[in-house]
Structure 1
Amino acid sequence: MANQSSKIHLIFGLEDKPGVAVSTFAALQHVLASFIGIITPTLIVGGVLGLGSEVPYLVSMALIVSGIGTFIQARRIGPVGSGLLCVQGTSFAFLSSILAAGFIVKGKGGGPEEILSTIFGVCFFGAFVEIFLSRFIDKLKRIITPVVTGTIITLIGLSLIKVSMTDIAGGFGAKDLGAPVNLALAGVVLITIVIFNRFQVQMLRLSAVIIGLTFGFLVAWSMGKVDFSGLNEVALIAIPVPFKYGFSFDFAAFLPIAIIYLITALETTGDLTANSMVSNQPVSGPVYVKRIKAGVLADGCNSAIASSLNSLPMTTFSQNNGVIQLTGVASRHVALFIAGILVLLGLFPVIGGVLQQMPKPVLGGATLIMFGTVAMAGVKIISQAGLNRRNMLITAISIGLGLGVASVPEVLSAMPATLKNIIGSPLTIGALAAIILNFILPTNMDGEEVEETEVEGAEDNACRESASETAVDTMTPQGQKPSLCSSVNS
């Protein structure tokens, strides 16, 4: 891949050290752009799986481990960390697999502690998949091509839309499911996000989701749909306790999560490439390859830390690339301030307690856009790879199988319980189908050999767009720009 055609104007470069006031102001903007992405997966998991009183503590842990992960990624500890101004946060990509794991435990009669024990156990072991892959991430793209990545990301988004629609209706088990007031609240949030996303002021676009949720929350509060009476029972300070809920493992729950760790390693490659671009750093050559490997390794290590401290897997956010462009501050030393703010916020569970009171329709109105955008990001990657007969066949079969088992789970009713739990996940069966079909189908099905340079060009375009299309980044949960970058070449 060629070097950047033009340099981005920066006030403070990667190794510069801005003053405390500048660093704090820039850090607050990064936290504002990331905050909703960090906490929302935990709120969704807590609500769908009925984790109740554990949610405030889990939200606190999500903020604390995001701070720790951001510090490691920017500071560089030995071979771990890209040394870029990258914010680490909770990954939306794992949501459907984590919910499936929770329902497996719940189906066996397990309560909140058993559910969390299994989720954090399988996520901990899964993190070593990404740690292992980081050592040869530059070779992985030849096996997991853009059509595979795009198909899986599309399935992630589509499989989560049901969660959003249920929240819009009132949430799982709600007595007023589908009530007009619920739909109206969700509509208010959705419209607000759309309006602010269309603004020309970049910071307003970056903050569209948090503004929409805040406005929806205030409207719900004025309608008497928010109850803060339970906050008296929330602890004053949250102290991280390693594996507080125990440590369990279930292979049926592990396999889908392991596949997502494979994909998130490739997503991180794209996000780090975009961050290198906006930070005026090399995007080819040995320095770049070393940085990518160290960054993906940090992602894996941070996910292992997150699981041990009772939080969901981590990934590198990309909406923060827009903040770098907005502020002109690419200094990795700002990440120390970001980390400090996130850890400070995480120490007080009352924040999680307040957010737990957010009505489901308010949250659903925002996540509908988020998950829909994830699905469209996957479609975009597929289209960039080329909509030839081979790629369309891979995508059609994989998405068909994934959505098929989700819509008609009875199709697997005659299979053994363990096998049913594994391939009953839309993501697992769809991902496996995409990987196998991509491996066995010839590349010249249309009568012409697919040029590798064309695919690489498509991937490179995705990387460039992830650096410049901040409006899209705003709409993507956790800011992840799900792109696979071919530039990881030595």
Structure 2
Amino acid sequence: MADTSIGTAAQLRDPDYMPALHRAVPLGIQHVLAMFVSNVTPAIIIAGAAGFGFGSDAGAQGFPDMTYLIQMSMLFAGVATLLQTVGMGPVGARLPIVQGTSFAFIPIMIPLVAGKGVDALPALFGGVLVGGLFHAALGLVIGRIRFALPPLVTGLVVTMIGLALVKVGIQYAAGGVPAINTPEYGSLLNWSAALVVIFVTLALKFFARGMLAVSAVVIGIAVGYVYALAMGMVTLDGIATSWSRAAMLQFPVPFSYGIEFSLAAIVGFCLMAFVSAVETVGDVSGITKGGAGREATESEIAGATYADGIGTAVAGVFGGFPNTSFSQNVGLIAMTGVMSRHVVTIGALFLILCGLVPKVSAVIRTIPIEVLGGGVIVMFGMVVAAGVSMLSDVNWNRRNMVIFAIALSVGLGLQLDPKAVQYLPETVHVLMTSGLLPAAMIAIVLNLVLPEDLADEATEEVSGGMAGHGRGRTDG
């Protein structure tokens, strides 16, 4: 419900309205809490996949790797958000859009870094840089390419992203990949910490209101952390050591891990930029409809896409990951009724401050992996649910069912059995085994080339008699 005590109805719907600071600051921090865990989780997952996550310290030029990556995730989420809210020429929608590290790119990044340690990072960040510039260039044509990404395609891709990530959540909850061959892996103690987080998060989501519901995952992880501390899963000595070793203030260093340009990384990031750009268009439209009761303008959509890409490219220079608009903050705007971009600017400044203080990252790093697992199980499950929700807008005729079936079968199958294409060239192998890119390309191409009248000509044999009985609201 809108808080009319901070302004009139017209003011609340105005992006340029600035509430009094004693109101604006808590509202800005609300936005940060709504996205905080989601924003830093990709850095933790990629560090773990590369092999320098929990339990490692040495990094490029002396940086503690996971701590530094978490730091950059916060810092450049704030920078990218400022590009959206304050703007710079044609860059930025000048709307209350919160940017954060994108989950969508994780299935692309994991095969690029898997088991390769710090040596994988130069090529990864080269891909982030080029992919970000390509993403920004999409702002010139975003209005003309949206037709190629209807709900059938975007819903499939988002669902695939979630399905690719749920395994990570389960592995974390059981004890993490490094412990997978130890007796402790999958123990009741490990699972109990994850379940505490899940139960607290669900309780707040279903039975709390306002700020408690918005911050459910953050609070769930905090409660899980306290539980883990009580159970001896994290020691006070470890917290003190992590805190004392972290600097009070640290500025980002450009190309701190070096830079390389790998074809696999560049192709992967550029192709995923299409999906990310369309997601941002949806978020911009959601903000203007839910917060201001109007359609987004072409300049707002283009500006948001420019900011998405440039924010990503700048992050890649300093060791950050791709940024995108965060949908949960769109819902927060609808809940509070406050459309002010200046409120989100305050949140962005808070993120930047956190990113410049390594002690914040050091504390996040002490969270037991099992506790984080409980949080990511909820978050990644919600990604799948979001994809299914998008798919509800598809007209489930036989044509669309066949497109979806083929794309899902190939994409998910390659994720489950990467060795099926082990004789392909390395670059192609990396792209194929993500599962996400082949699924997206199959869906896009088939949706463009198969005529709509095939929907009436297909037979029941295609789907075993189960097709054609459910219809969504619009054509896919």
Question: Which TM-score band (shorter chain)?
Answer: 0.7 to 0.9
Q: 1:333 to 1:210 in 2, by over 3 A?
A: same
SS at match of 1:447: helix
Q: 1:230 to 1:333 in 2, by over 3 A?
A: closer
Q: 1:433 aligns with which of 433, 442, 452?
A: 442
How big is each residue's C-alpha offset from its partner over 1:294-339, in whole Å with a ceiling of 9 and x where there is no partner?
1111111111111112111101112223333443322112233222
Tell me the amino acid that sits aligned with residue 57 of structure 1: Y
Q: 2:137 aligns with which of 117, 132, 136?
A: 132
> What is the aligned partner in structure 1 of residue 4 from structure 2?
none
> What is the aligned partner in structure 2 of residue 120 from structure 1?
125
Asked whether 1:83 is paired with 2:94, we answer yes
The separation in 1 between residues aligned to 2:202 and 2:90, in whole angstroms, is 41
The separation in 2 between residues aligned to 1:116 and 1:55, in whole angstroms, is 12
User: Percent same amino acid among aligned pairs?
Assistant: 34
- Equivalences for 1:450-489 in 2 at 5 Å? 458=474
The separation in 2 between residues aligned to 1:323 and 1:151, in whole angstroms, is 25
Give the Å deviation of 1:389. 0.8
User: Given that residues 161 and 368 in structure 1 are in contact (C-alpha distance below 8 angstroms), is that contact kept between their aligned partners in structure 2?
Assistant: yes
The separation in 2 between residues aligned to 1:326 and 1:196, in whole angstroms, is 16
Provide the TM-score with structure 2 as the length reference. Answer: 0.87
Q: 1:18 to 1:243 in 2, by over 3 A?
A: same
Q: 1:324 to 1:416 in 2, by over 3 A?
A: closer
SS at match of 2:341: coil
Give the Å deviation of 1:203. 2.2
The separation in 2 between residues aligned to 1:309 and 1:244, in whole angstroms, is 7
Give the Å deviation of 1:173. 1.4
Q: 1:330 to 1:383 in 2, by over 3 A?
A: closer
> What is the aligned partner in structure 2 of residue 19 from structure 1?
20
Q: 2:317 aligns with which of 299, 308, 316?
A: 308
Q: 1:48 to 1:413 in 2, by over 3 A?
A: closer
The separation in 2 between residues aligned to 1:421 and 1:327, in whole angstroms, is 43
> What is the aligned partner in structure 2 of residue 58 from structure 1?
69
User: Given that residues 256 and 427 in structure 1 are in contact (C-alpha distance below 8 angstroms), is that contact kept between their aligned partners in structure 2?
Assistant: no
Give the Å deviation of 1:199. 2.1
> What is the aligned partner in structure 1 of residue 461 from structure 2?
none
The separation in 1 between residues aligned to 2:229 and 2:275, in whole angstroms, is 39
Q: 2:244 aligns with which of 232, 240, 254?
A: 232
User: Given that residues 85 and 341 in structure 2 are in contact (C-alpha distance below 8 angstroms), is that contact kept between their aligned partners in structure 1?
Assistant: yes
The separation in 2 between residues aligned to 1:245 and 1:442, in whole angstroms, is 48
Give the Å deviation of 1:221. 1.0
User: Given that residues 129 and 262 in structure 1 are in contact (C-alpha distance below 8 angstroms), is that contact kept between their aligned partners in structure 2?
Assistant: no
Asked whether 1:220 is paired with 2:228, we answer yes
Q: 1:10 to 1:158 in 2, by over 3 A?
A: farther
The separation in 2 between residues aligned to 1:142 and 1:30, in whole angstroms, is 31
User: Given that residues 269 and 296 in structure 1 are in contact (C-alpha distance below 8 angstroms), is that contact kept between their aligned partners in structure 2?
Assistant: yes
The separation in 2 between residues aligned to 1:111 and 1:182, in whole angstroms, is 26
Q: Structure 1 residues 196-205 or 86-95, which shifts more? A: 196-205
Give the Å deviation of 1:89. 0.9
User: Given that residues 392 and 472 in structure 2 are in contact (C-alpha distance below 8 angstroms), is that contact kept between their aligned partners in structure 1?
Assistant: no
> What is the aligned partner in structure 1 of residue 255 from structure 2?
243
Q: 1:165 to 1:134 in 2, by over 3 A?
A: same
Asked whether 1:282 is paired with 2:294, we answer yes
User: Given that residues 405 and 424 in structure 1 are in contact (C-alpha distance below 8 angstroms), is that contact kept between their aligned partners in structure 2?
Assistant: yes
Give the Å deviation of 1:258. 1.8
The separation in 2 between residues aligned to 1:325 and 1:413, in whole angstroms, is 47
> What is the aligned partner in structure 2 of residue 184 from structure 1?
192
SS at match of 1:89: strand
Q: 1:164 aligns with which of 145, 160, 169?
A: 169
Give the Å deviation of 1:245. 0.7
> What is the aligned partner in structure 1 of residue 211 from structure 2?
203
Give the Å deviation of 1:417. 3.1
Q: 1:189 to 1:200 in 2, by over 3 A?
A: closer
The separation in 2 between residues aligned to 1:400 and 1:136, in whole angstroms, is 31
User: Given that residues 395 and 473 in structure 2 are in contact (C-alpha distance below 8 angstroms), is that contact kept between their aligned partners in structure 1?
Assistant: no
Q: 1:417 to 1:90 in 2, by over 3 A?
A: closer
User: Given that residues 10 and 329 in structure 1 are in contact (C-alpha distance below 8 angstroms), is that contact kept between their aligned partners in structure 2?
Assistant: no
Q: 1:146 to 1:448 in 2, by over 3 A?
A: farther
Give the Å deviation of 1:11. 5.3
User: Given that residues 278 and 324 in structure 1 are in contact (C-alpha distance below 8 angstroms), is that contact kept between their aligned partners in structure 2?
Assistant: yes
SS at match of 2:100: strand
Give the Å deviation of 1:446. 2.2
> What is the aligned partner in structure 2 of residue 257 from structure 1?
269
The separation in 1 between residues aligned to 2:24 and 2:72, in whole angstroms, is 24
* Matched residue count: 439
How big is each residue's C-alpha offset from its partner over 1:134-174, in whole Å with a ceiling of 9 and x where there is no partner?
11111112122221111111111101111111111100111
Give the Å deviation of 1:218. 0.9
User: Given that residues 126 and 316 in structure 2 are in contact (C-alpha distance below 8 angstroms), is that contact kept between their aligned partners in structure 1?
Assistant: yes
Asked whether 1:98 is paired with 2:104, we answer no
User: Given that residues 255 and 428 in structure 1 are in contact (C-alpha distance below 8 angstroms), is that contact kept between their aligned partners in structure 2?
Assistant: no
Tell me the amino acid that sits aligned with residue 235 of structure 1: A
How big is each residue's C-alpha offset from its partner over 1:341-367, in whole Å with a ceiling of 9 and x where there is no partner?
111111111111111121111111111
